[in-house]
Amino acid sequence: MADVPKLMEAASRWQKNFNNPLPLAANSRLAIITCMDSRVHPERIFDMKLGDAEVLRNAGGRVTLDMIRSLVVSQEILKTTDIFVIHHTDCGGQAAVRQHGMLIQAMVDKLPFLFGLVLRLLDALSMTGLLLKPIRNLERSVYEDVEKLKSNPMVPKSIGIYGFLYSTEDGSLKEITRRLPVRGKKLQ
């Protein structure tokens, strides 16, 4: 269990040492899509400080509709100009492939009857990957997510997109793919 009193004490210390509020937009104009895994800290990997990047997280660091929505906010309101997609080794997203049936059943058990039937139907039609986004091959998943961003009309060509694989075993970062931005005119 989380030690809530200890965490609240830390929050109190944070508040006492809090300096001036940071500006809304990230200093680096960078949005990072990565996994919710507690071992993956882009801020540490890239030696960044608080306020240097917009970090968007979900299970597996996959590009989903919700990530696209967040990126639109990041680009239009926070003025980010580049996107990093970072997947990592030893990811639970790979375990999701091995435990697919159990995950579907857990979701069905938590849903009202009709929604459970719909989920089972989607699973039977092999469409649950749209919901779970399981990872079978790490380098391919990075490439697929970068391609999904490149082909999405909500992501302008003026946005640079870079895909990386991070090793939780040795801390290394490998670039998998990139789309260099078309700077100058903001293309849509």
Say if residue 123 is in the same domain as residue 172: no
Say if residue 32 is in the same domain as residue 104: no
In the chain, which stretches have pLDDT less than 70?
93-108, 110-134, 183-188
In a domain, 187, yes or no: no
Residues shown for the chain: 188
Say if residue 113 is in the same domain as residue 146: no
In a domain, 142, yes or no: yes
Say if residue 58 is in the same domain as residue 151: yes
Say if residue 139 is in the same domain as residue 51: yes
The predicted structure's pLDDT at residue 15: 92
Quote the CA–CA distance of 141 and 43 in Å, as a whole number: 22
In a domain, 188, yes or no: no
In a domain, 84, yes or no: yes
Say if residue 161 is in the same domain as residue 116: no
Domain count within the chain: 2
Say if residue 120 is in the same domain as residue 158: no
Query: 178 - beta bridge partners?
Result: 162
Say if residue 36 is in the same domain as residue 87: yes
Quote the CA–CA distance of 26 and 155 in Å, as a whole number: 18
The predicted structure's pLDDT at residue 64: 87
The predicted structure's pLDDT at residue 130: 46
Per the prediction, the chain carries an average pLDDT of 84
In a domain, 4, yes or no: no
Is the separation of the CB atoms in 149 and 63 below 8 Å?
yes
The predicted structure's pLDDT at residue 127: 44
The predicted structure's pLDDT at residue 121: 64
Nearest to 147 by CA among 188, 117, 178: 178
CATH code of the domain in which 35 resides: 3.40.1050.10
Instruction: Tell how strand 173-179 and strand 82-88 pair up.
Output: unpaired
139-183: per-residue pLDDT in tens? 999 999 999 999 999 999 999 999 999 999 999 999 999 988 876
In a domain, 124, yes or no: yes
Query: 53 - beta bridge partners?
Result: 30
Query: 165 - beta bridge partners?
Result: 87, 174
The predicted structure's pLDDT at residue 188: 45
The predicted structure's pLDDT at residue 96: 57
The predicted structure's pLDDT at residue 150: 94
Torsional class of 85: left (φ above 0), alpha (ψ -120 to 50), beta (otherwise): beta
Q: Biggest alpha carbon distance in the chain?
A: 54
Say if residue 140 is in the same domain as residue 172: yes
In a domain, 14, yes or no: no
Say if residue 172 is in the same domain as residue 116: no
- Domain of 54 in residue numbering reads as 25-91+135-180
In a domain, 8, yes or no: no
The predicted structure's pLDDT at residue 187: 43
Say if residue 83 is in the same domain as residue 158: yes
Say if residue 69 is in the same domain as residue 109: no
